[in-house]
Each structure stands twice: as C-alpha cells, then as structure tokens.
Amino acid sequence: MPSRPVGTVTRGTTHPNRLRRMDHWITAAHAPALRRADDPVAVDLGYGAAPWTAVELLHRLRTVAPRARVVGVEIDPERVAAARPYAREGLEFRHGGFEVPLPGRPVLIRAANVLRQYDESEVPGVWARLCARLAPEGVLVEGTCDEIGRRHVWVALGPEGPRTVTFATRLASLERPSDLAERLPKALIHRNVPGEPVHAFLRDFDRAWAAAAPYASYGARQRWMRAVRDLRAGGWPVVDGPKRWRQGEVTLRWEALAPAVR
C-alpha cells in the first residue's frame, strides 16, 4: 500500500442522519453478503469532520448483520484523532484515503460526498482503485446528497465495476424528479445535457411525474410509484420494485445512464 494516503481533504461537512437513505438501501440490498462474509467489514470512507455517519452505519448494519464491523477512514489526521474517542466494539477509525488501509478486503465501502470536489476525469481511476480493494461479494456505494439527506443519488459498483444508479428522495419535499439532478454523483452531474442518457432519463421521469398528477390526491408516494411504473413500461431498466419505490427510491442499471462515449 502507498506510504501516504491517496486523495485530498474534503470539506468535511456532515450531519446526523444525513446518509440514512443510502444506509437503508444498503441494508435492504446487501444484507445477505454481509451475513455470509467471514469478516463483514464495512468502510465509511471520508466520513468528515465528525464521526456520526460511521456510528450510524454500524448501528444500521448490525440490524441485519450482527457481526458487522465498521472502519471509518479519513485523510485528515486531525479528524481521525477527534473521532477516536467514539470508537467502540465493532467501530474504529484510521488515517487513510483511497488506498483503504485495511489488512483484508471489505464487504462494503461507502463513499458519500467524497468525489464531488474531484474532476470527472478522475472518477474512473478512483472507482477502479476502490473496487480493487473489495471482497469478491463486496460493493462500493458512491454518491452525493444534500446537507440533511433529503435528496441523494448513488452508484453501486462491484469488483467488476458499476452496476446500478439509485435515486432517493423525501417525496414530500419533491416538486419534480429532475430536482435530483443537482445531487447526481460526479460521474454524471456534468452529463445532464441533451444527448446524454441521464438527461433523457430525467426528462422522461418529469413527464411521467406530470402524467401521474391525478395520483397526487392519494399522496406523493402513490404519484411516485405510478411514475416509476410508467418509466419501466416505457423501457427504462428499473431493477427494483414497489417495496423500494414506496421509500422514494428507484434503481436502474448503470448501462442505461452511463455517459455517452465521445
């Protein structure tokens, strides 16, 4: 491993419960892999100026995988020192970056609001480095959310590369699905322009949302679910079902939204 951490210091902004939507998706989608692992280690990469997200991740993972452990990894040594008083059984903090300074291979690496300060051109290299550190059944979850976790978009990757993109929101605060565009991860945020798949998806999602307006009388959840059904019927490769849609989520295959080759 490199002798110095790989990466740069982030802003470090964090708030309690900011990553709850991502965590709930992780526990729903990847609990079996965590339970099967001999050493179910999860990494909270770039947890920021306070350790809340790592503490919460441990609590949420243990509801589905009681043997899970969490390692918070931060490139700023002062943040690591500040977090260490919060260490406990199953939770530790280490100084490091994209090299992920663990002796083994984690089952989960969560990197939320870490790559937003990097150039888009740097994303594939970071993804490849992190995916190479995963256990065979491991997953990297990388994305961006707003300051209080109401809107969030993330990419899930396996050792082989990107698999899916998930859009998650607090439905009561949503005017239209394209409001989530400002939270696209770095790999997609500059691609929300005509001619790019993610732009076409958000355009079609807005149209489906508008067409589902009569369902608003039953609540925003029913309107969202109807719009997602229409998206799937229209050919978008939605990979989840009503149980997740009810949470204000929708997940699609990465290939459908991946940047156009130029």
The two beta strands, 69-74 and 41-45, are parallel
Residues 227, 213: Cα–Cα separation, whole Å: 9
Residue 13 confidence (pLDDT): 77
Whether 246 shows a pLDDT value over 60: the answer reads yes
Q: How confident is the model at residue 9 (pLDDT cuts 50, 70, 90)?
A: confident
- The beta-carbon contacts of 197-206 under 8 Å, at least 24 apart in sequence, are 197/256, 197/257, 197/258, 197/259, 197/260, 198/257, 198/259, 201/231, 201/236, 201/252, 201/256, 201/257, 202/177, 202/178, 203/178, 204/231, 204/234, 204/236, 205/177, 205/178, 205/231, 206/176, 206/177, 206/178
Confidence at 214, pLDDT banded by 50, 70, 90: very high
**For position 1, what pLDDT does the model report?**
46
The Cα 217–Cα 138 span in angstroms is 41
Q: What is the mean pLDDT of residues 128-157?
A: 97
Confidence of residue 140 (pLDDT cuts 50, 70, 90): very high
Q: What is the pLDDT of residue 240?
A: 97
* Averaged pLDDT of the chain: 96
Please, where in the chain does CATH 3.40.50.150 lie?
20-169
Residue 2 has pLDDT above 60, yes or no: no
Confidence of residue 84 (pLDDT cuts 50, 70, 90): very high
What is the rounded average pLDDT of the residues 106-119? 96
**Average pLDDT value for residue range 82-93:** 97
- Quick one: pLDDT at residue 11? 77
Share of the chain above pLDDT 70, in %: 98
Instruction: Please compute the mean of the pLDDT values over residues 218-223 and round it to a whole number.
Output: 97
Average pLDDT (143-163) is 97
The predicted pLDDT at position 223 comes to 98
Residue 262 has pLDDT above 80, yes or no: no
Inform me whether the pLDDT recorded for 191 exceeds 80.
Answer: yes
* Distance between CA atoms of residues 92 and 83, nearest Å: 9
| pLDDT exceeds 80 at position 153 | yes
Class level of CATH domain 20-169: alpha beta
Per-residue pLDDT at 201 exceeds 80: yes
Each residue's pLDDT tens digit, 24-62: 999 999 999 999 999 999 999 999 999 999 999 999 999
Q: How far is CA 45 from the centre of its chain?
A: 12
Total residue length of the chain: 262
Reduced to 3 DSSP states, what percent helix, strand and coil does the chain have, rounded to the nearest 5? 40, 20, 40
Summarised one tens digit per residue, pLDDT across range 155-185 is: 999 999 999 999 999 999 999 999 999 999 9
